[in-house]
Chains A and B, each alone.
Chain A
Amino acid sequence: MSIEIPTINLTNIGPLITLSVAGLLLLLVDAFSIKGTKKGYFHQISLVAVVIAVLQTIWLWGRNEMDFSRMIYVDNYSFFFYLIFLLGTGVSILLSVRYLENYNKNYGEYYALMLFAAVGMMLMAAGGNLVTIFLGVEILSIPIYIMAGMFREDLKSNESALKYLLLGAFSSAFLLFGIAMLYGATGTFFLEDIAKVIKSGGMNALTYMGLGLLIVGLGFKVSLAPFHMWTPDVYEGAPTSVTAFMSVGTKAAAFAVFLRIFMDVFPTVRMDWDMLLWVLAVATMTVGNVTALAQTNIKRMLAYSSIAHAGYILIGMIAGNQLGAIGILYYLVAYTLMNLGAFGVVILVSRKKDSYLNIYDYSGLGFQYPGLALVMSVFMFGLVGMPPTAGFIGKFYIFSAAIEANYIWLVLIGVVNSLISVYYYLRITVIMYMKPAEADLGPVDMNATMTTTLIASAVAVLIIGIFPSSVFNLALSSVKIFGS
């Protein structure tokens, strides 16, 4: 028996390497920086790493192969998700800088953890093997457990971290169990091979159970109802910048896996199980939207709204056609921009610990800080799905994909849900513009980094909403791998 040394091409995972190296560098810089002086360069280093990773991804664009003994897909689908993650990470870093400084938490490891988490996400999107995917999930989750608990003195932050850890461990266990069963049934971890086995031999009890557990595990990560219970508490307690990061990153990464598995490996099951996914989607949208109506804490409201958005995205998956896949990719881009933007505004407005997080604290903001209120309105109307924002185009794609696949009732339920969501998103604009200021908001710390980031996000939301062609075409070339 000879040992075969696989040929690997490191440039194929260039972005992952860049981020990992930058993360290690950050830890070193933090450890060796002189005590007492102002610690710094953390966010600069991480931003440079993100930009390099973006350039590497663009350079890689168009490759279509597998590497590392078929453990890693090197295809446009992964690259599209790389770009989403890098966008999310980059914006989150920009939003974190002043926030951490204000709380005296400007640690190097924060940024390092964020980069490591991004590596985990990329590994999930690119994973060609269930083990790689599982590793990705863990590399993503563990940094986030720590980041959620960054504010050690804060009870809520502790609660958030512990809750996320416990439920995350549960979901990992489900995921792992599912993987084990699929391995037992098919004798392989490779997605490609599993697909072949399923295609030739069909499904049996074990594969069904394995897939079911996989759905549960991923359902936790994207917070589908009824696996969403952790979301509001974790989102509320975690530092707002971390909430922003995980609300977009984790969700996108888990959907990357979800979509690849369902479109590539179990296309027939997706049709058989459409009823199950249908119920999950409807439950997720409804629970998210209806509960969001009752929230007065803005972070909790955004948490429930993020649950609802997972439901909309699931509609695209149920549609199961190419348009649905494109819709999901587009929606995730739009959602990343809008949600990060909304959390950015929350970071700006809430200056002291636990203060100015109530939605009524935003009263009078519209005329006190017209610019800030305007970008917040763009994000809110975007999340509602009003034209001409990207949120509208995202919903438009997803709904049209479902109609093309004849799921008219599902779309009608989605539409009713959008309608419910109008009320609570609109309420923010009502409070900002139509209520007199109740309490003195005091000076909002408008610094250049934050304002530039927010304005850029809002402009991006509008631009890709008005000219959706370019993102559409990128997404189209990314989902070509799924056939039609």
Chain B
Amino acid sequence: MNFPILSILILLPMVGVALIMMLNRENQWVIKGTAMAVALVEFVLSLYLWFGFNSETAAMQFTEQYSWFPSYGISYLVGLDGISLLLVLLTTFITPICILACWEDVQDKVKEFMICLLFLETGMIGVFVALDLFLFYVFWEVMLIPMYLLIGVWGNPARKIYAAVKFFIFTMVGSLLMLVAILVLYFYNHKVTGVYTFDLLKLYGLQIPFEMQFWMFLAFGLAFAIKVPMFPVHTWLPDAHTEAPTVGSVILAAVLLKMGTYGFLRFNMPLFPEAGWYFVPLFAILAIIGIIYGALVSLVQVDLKRLVAFSSVSHLGFVMLGLFSYNMAGVQGGIIQMINHGLSTGALFLIVGMVYERRHTRMIADFGGLSKVMPIFATIFMIVTLSSIGLPGLNGFVGEFLILLGAFKANMAYGIVAASGVIFAAAYMLWMFQRVMFGVVDNEKNQNLKDLSTREIVVLLPVLLFIVWIGVYPNTFLDKTKASSANFVAMMEKAKTTKVATADVIMKGAQR
């Protein structure tokens, strides 16, 4: 492949940023139009990945490598496999939807808003395609800034600063520790092989003593677990989600959280496979706690957005459980569930945003009987809710089913406990739906709510299309991930049996 498609995908939004910077801030329509055009072109270009992708192989495709900083072994190395393909497409798919969704919502500082969104897109795609640890770290950090600004500038005035700073600092805690681990890995690799490199594919083959793996798995794992977010470090999420503007929440839920799970799959487990097995109980149990805890907390929320935010904790728990089962069903389920969560939760946030625009409240108690005044809205909301619960025929079911299958295979107990999470999910989602949509319209302000406009329907329809598509015929998507997942599972299986040395000089050095 000579066509540098991935670099174009990374750079195109930055070109958009440069264009928008030159536009007059008074021309809001032109600014929005430019952003939209860039995002659409980006999406169309990314389809090239879909059609050009060879699903037979687990090798990296569309790779590009340019020397960046040779004396340090840093290069600009990007590539794509079955794991990242869907996530990149999800990113390019969600961004235009977000721009359309905030068309009327954002009136203030439109120029800066669009700049942040496009900048964020560059960062997100970069994270998913970077195969050089240094490059990955750069994208991982860079993407923090626009998200931080989205929450902090356009968020809910009351608590936006708290949420933005909390988001930033939580993420930094993890990523700085990850940086240290990356450097330790880098120097260890040099000691063993004599080569300085940050090339992930070369580092995959490295045999690392267990003690080192132990700490490095934890350091990387903390960075990713915070992003996922897993149970004890999830507390930034409800705040960030609740205070962020609608579009911020959508991107946060749809894409940013996936970086955590993606990180586990791409970095943590393949780099430190023995530690990966060792930590199964810890992470699986944390994932299950996340599933149950997220669901229980969702049950008692009075704020719609907070409820959806906590439901994310629960859903991402499923993803983590699937990944840590290390078998085909679990891993493929985990990947597909990442996409599902992006679609359903993204859509839920859009829906909450739409109702918030009309009523300027998100309290469940303020609503009731909306299905009578807003029939189209009610239909779409119902479909999305059911998809989130995991109704067969919709996308959520496929993911959760595969994950539970994988979990049962790996450990019966995990599967049984996690399955109860599905029931809770039905409880909190349906109960929420009932309180908002059914019953009598007891609040006068709700009497004359307008139903969805054409723009809003256009925003939600593509998401609905994929919700049904994945639910009815998931193979379109599963096929793409098959080879990479099989490769991953084989790698983990191999590591199960290998024994690694336990003592090493580097660890002794650390005692100093």
Question: Which residues on A are within 8 Å of B, measured CB to CB?
Answer: 366-367, 370, 381, 386-388, 392, 396, 399-400, 403-404, 406-409, 411-412, 415, 418-419, 422-423, 426, 430, 433-435, 468-469, 472-473, 476
Contacts and interface: CB of A to CB of B under 8 A. Distances in A.
A411 B219 CA distance: 13
Counting from the closest, the 7 A-B pairs by CB-CB distance are A406-B509, A387-B138, A408-B510, A415-B176, A434-B152, A403-B183, A400-B183
- Greatest chain B CB density within 10 A among A381, A415, A468 is at A415
B69 interface: yes
Contacts of B512: 406-409
Nearest to B511: A409
Interface string B192-229: 00000000000000000000000000000000000000
B169 A422 contact: yes
A387 B137 contact: yes
Contacts of B180: 399, 403, 408, 411-412, 415
B161 A387 contact: no
Contact of B509 (A396, A408, A435, A473): A408
A403 B184 contact: yes
Contacts of A412: 177, 180
A415 B177 contact: yes
B164 A434 contact: yes
21 contacts: A386-B141, A392-B138, A399-B180, A399-B183, A400-B186, A406-B506, A407-B512, A408-B184, A409-B512, A412-B180, A415-B176, A415-B179, A419-B173, A419-B176, A430-B152, A434-B164, A469-B68, A469-B69, A469-B70, A473-B71, A476-B71
Contacts of B183: 399-400, 403, 411
B187 A472 contact: no
A387 B71 contact: no
A479 B387 CA distance: 62
A224 B109 CA distance: 43
B509 A472 contact: no
B149 interface: yes
Contacts of B149: 433
B138 A403 contact: no
B45 to A, nearest CB: 24
Nearest to A370: B112
A404 B165 contact: no
Interface in B465-512: 506, 509-510, 512
Interface string B60-91: 00000000111110000000000000000000
A423 B168 CA distance: 9
B19 to A, nearest CB: 16
B71 A469 contact: yes
B179 A399 contact: yes
B190 to A, nearest CB: 8
Contacts of A476: 71
Secondary structure type dominating chain B contacts: helix
Given A386-B145, A403-B183, A434-B160, A409 B510 contact: yes
Nearest to A469: B69
B177 A423 contact: no
A255 to B, nearest CB: 22
Given A388-B142, A422-B168, A430 B161 contact: yes
A422 B352 CA distance: 33
A396 B148 CA distance: 23
A392 B506 CA distance: 25
Contacts of A418: 172, 176
A472 B176 contact: no
Nearest to B160: A434
Interface in B258-301: none
Contacts of A435: 161
Given A403-B180, A412-B177, 14 more contacts: A367-B112, A381-B145, A386-B145, A388-B138, A388-B142, A392-B138, A403-B183, A406-B509, A406-B512, A422-B169, A426-B168, A430-B164, A435-B161, A468-B69
Contacts of A396: 179
A408 B72 CA distance: 20
A400 B183 CA distance: 6
B153 interface: yes
A434 B142 contact: no
B152 A433 contact: yes
Nearest to A418: B176
A434 B161 contact: yes
Interface string B138-157: 10011011001100110000
B136 to A, nearest CB: 11
B156 to A, nearest CB: 12
Contacts of B142: 386-388
A435 B69 CA distance: 40
A422 B172 contact: yes
A470 to B, nearest CB: 10
Contacts of B153: 366, 433-434
A473 B72 CA distance: 11
Contacts of A433: 149, 152-153
Given A407-B512, A408-B184, A472 B71 contact: yes
Given A403-B187, A469-B69, A430 B165 contact: yes
Contacts of B177: 412, 415
